[in-house]
């Protein structure tokens, strides 16, 4: 398992109707195994989204802004990419190293 930290940078984008505001940001991970999919909704301006316990898999990620309507509408295009979490080739285990016997 791994922890993934998505660092989000914002930039102004013009062309939206007056009074349009960003209501939330949704960050999503989509694995080849659907059981590994995760998403989080965070406040606008959030610069870091952390996903814990990311299983080994090939992933796509997307970060999308939404307005505050019900249901929310996407604003602009999602920022997307791919990455892979590989399984470790070896692991370290804590094994018994010594024993002390005593009699009472």
Residue 96 confidence (pLDDT): 75
Checking if the pLDDT of 33 tops 80, the result is: yes
Our count of domains for the chain comes to 1
Range of the domain at 30: 2-11+21-85
pTM: 0.80
Assigned domain for 101 exists: no
Q: E strands along the chain, which residues?
A: 2-7, 24-31, 38-42, 48-54, 57-66, 74-85
91 SS3 class: coil
Q: What is the CATH number of the domain that holds 64?
A: 2.60.40.10
Establish if 99 belongs to a structural domain: no
* Domain annotation covers residue 100: no
Question: Mean pLDDT, the chain, as a whole number?
Answer: 89
Q: Which two tokens stand for residue 24?
A: 């939330």
């Amino acid at each position: 398992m791994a922890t993934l930290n998505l660092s989000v940078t914002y930039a102004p984008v013009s062309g939206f109707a007056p009074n349009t505001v960003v209501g939330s940001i949704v960050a999503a991970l989509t694995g080849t195994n659907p059981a590994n999919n995760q998403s989080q909704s965070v406040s606008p301006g959030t610069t870091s989204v952390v996903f814990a316990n990311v299983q080994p898999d090939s992933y796509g990620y997307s970060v999308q802004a939404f307005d505050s309507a019900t249901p929310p509408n996407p604003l602009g295009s999602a920022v997307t990419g791919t990455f892979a979490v590989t399984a470790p080739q070896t692991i370290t285990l804590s094994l018994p190293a010594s024993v002390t016997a005593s009699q009472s």
